[in-house]
Amino acid sequence: MQDQTKNTQAGTLTGPNTALALMVRPSKPKRGASHVLLEDIADTLFRGPAKTGHGIDLLIRNAQAQSLPQANALARLPDIAVPHILEGPDGVTGLLVFDGVLVDALIEQQTLGRISSAPRVDRPVTAIDAALSTGFANSVTSKLAELVEDRRDASALAGFACRATQTDRAALSLVMSAKAYDVLQMDVDLGPGLKTGRALLMFPAATADAKPKPKQVNPDMVAVLQDSPLHLSAFLPAVPLQVRALLDLEEGAVIPLPDGILARTQLRDRRKTLLGKGRLGQLNGRRVIRLDGSPQMRAQPLEAQPKPAQITADGVLSPELEITAESMVREQGGPTGAPNAEHAVPELAASS
């Protein structure tokens, strides 16, 4: 009884409806627009050149294309086959492969003027087989060049030409250096109905640029951030001042500013990051800044702190010691009442 229970449990674990059966399902082959293109042009690539150039009637059946890693793509080659290397632009390579049955049919057509229905004799391919199948390979690649000119969606297949044959599989794996290939496999019905061979086309897999995934943003968080207050300060460039003038400063004194200094106002946050530049002025009795363009959010630290000053013999303070007119815009104070403030700073009614 216990043995039957064990057997029942074991059978249940591997039944058709178990989770284990679902986990080991074969994955679907990778497909894209390039694979649909290859399947679409397969009959045109082979049928026209075979009829007009070599007097062979054939039909392409079961044309299927998919993307495969390099090792898996080369494993699809028939054991008895002639691979023709296709050299493309920028040093890339592809393959056009005829199996033994298709090669024999090409040889029979050239030597006997017809295709025999006799089964193929089991033998390895030779250099003569490769040479006699090269003409048809050239016809297929020439037809491919014509299709590329007519179809805009076939630009990835442009520039390929048949250059040589390579039957050594080890050497072939070195020539085919791409990580993945778009592989078109098809059955070739010769006669039709006399023989059925196989052909393969391989091109380096078309790579699509990965699109960045849009970041998920919480709209409530965005609203909170946009409503958060920021404390900004406006700065004017530093003002050079002689020591004697600094010592003579009294309440109500006026410090003249260089020409054009108001047009070089900087808007910074608490971390002294530069947010924008503009011109300082007045509007309706309030200090305002007209920005030059939109604020640029990039980290630009405020000028370095001045070094200890050195006083020269004539009593003039070195350029390192300067007074910043930050207080003119940091607070919105009233006029000082100095009689000549308006003359010193035309844009402002008074200094703050």
Residue 152, judged by CB atoms within 10 A of its CB (0-12, 13-18, 19+), counts as: exposed
> What's the confidence (pLDDT) of residue 25?
57
Lowest mean pLDDT among 21-35, 245-259, 314-328: 314-328
* Banded pLDDT at 82 (limits 50, 70, 90): very high
* Banded pLDDT at 328 (limits 50, 70, 90): very low
> Residue 35 in contact with residue 152, Cβ under 8 Å?
no
CA angle 138, 144, 147 (to 5 degrees): 150
Lowest mean pLDDT among 70-84, 261-275, 291-305: 291-305
Sequence-distant (≥ 6) Cβ neighbours of residue 282 within 8 angstroms: 288, 347, 348, 349
What are the strands, taking DSSP E only, across 103-222?
A: 161-165, 180-190, 195-204
**Mean pLDDT across the chain:** 77
pLDDT in tens, 127-167: 999 999 999 999 999 999 999 888 888 888 999 999 899 98
pLDDT in tens, 25-61: 555 666 788 899 999 999 999 999 999 999 999 999 9
pLDDT in tens, 189-213: 998 899 999 999 999 987 655 566 7
Q: Encode 201-235: b = buried (16+ Cβ within 10 Å), e = exposed.
A: bbbbbeeeeeeeeeeeeeeeeeeeeeeeeeeeebb
Q: Which helix or strand (DSSP H or E) is residue 87 part of? A: strand 81-87
> What's the confidence (pLDDT) of residue 212?
66
Counting residues of the chain whose pLDDT is more than 90, the rounded percentage is: 37
| Spatial CA neighbour of 269 closest among 235, 303, 237 | 235
d(CA 125, CA 135): 16
| Spatial CA neighbour of 140 closest among 104, 172, 188, 177 | 188
- The residue-averaged pLDDT of 112-140 equals 92
d(CA 106, CA 98): 10
pTM above 0.85, yes or no: no
> What's the confidence (pLDDT) of residue 276?
84
> What's the confidence (pLDDT) of residue 299?
46
pLDDT higher than threshold 80 for residue 322: no
Q: Which two tokens stand for residue 250?
A: 């009294």
Higher pLDDT, 188 or 292: 188
pLDDT higher than threshold 50 for residue 342: no
pLDDT higher than threshold 80 for residue 4: no
DSSP 212-276: PPPPP--HHHHHHHHTS----EEEPPEEE--HHHHHT--TT------TTGGGGEEEE-TT--EEE
